[in-house]
Amino acid sequence: MTVDLDDQQDDEVLASLARLRTCDVSQRRSHQLRRRCHAMLQAEPPANRWAWMVDGAPFRRVIVPALGSAWCLAYLVEIIRRTAAIYGYFGTP
């Protein structure tokens, strides 16, 4: 019985909350903010055009490792080539 009474009182509390007024900013301020947001939406910075690629899985999972591997491979080949050249392979040092 007590639980029911408490639940009923709780429901009344929530109902009283639902009836509270909704407030708003002044129209002038609201328009200013809307204009500012529109301007930002319409003037998308160039960086955002590539955002899908930077944020997306293809960039993280494929392109970055591929570029890294290619650089490492080129470095390794150059080291081997120079070392070989020191010992007289592939021409004079």
Partner 1 sequence: MTPMGPDDERALVARLRAGDTGAFDEVYDEYRPRVFAFLLRMTRSRTVAEDLLDEVWLRLVRHTTRLLPDTRLAAWLFTVARNLYWSHRRDALLEESSVPELLTLWPSPPPWPSPFDLAVAGELERRVERALLTLSPQYREVVLLVGHEGLTPTDAAVVCGISPEALRQRLSRARAALAEKLRETPAVAALTKGFAT
Residues lying near partner 1 in the complex (CB under 8 A) are found at 6, 9-10, 12-14, 16-25, 29-30, 33-34, 36-38, 40-42, 44, 48, 51-52, 55
Q: How far is the CB of 28 from partner 1 (least distance, A)?
A: 11
Residue whose CB is less far from partner 1, 21 or 88: 21
CA distances from 24 to 27, 30, 34 (A): 9, 9, 14
CA distances from 40 to 34, 64, 79 (A): 10, 30, 50
Q: How far is the CB of 91 from partner 1 (least distance, A)?
A: 54
Are the CB atoms for 31 and 39 separated by under 8 Å?
no
Q: How far is the CB of 58 from partner 1 (least distance, A)?
A: 16
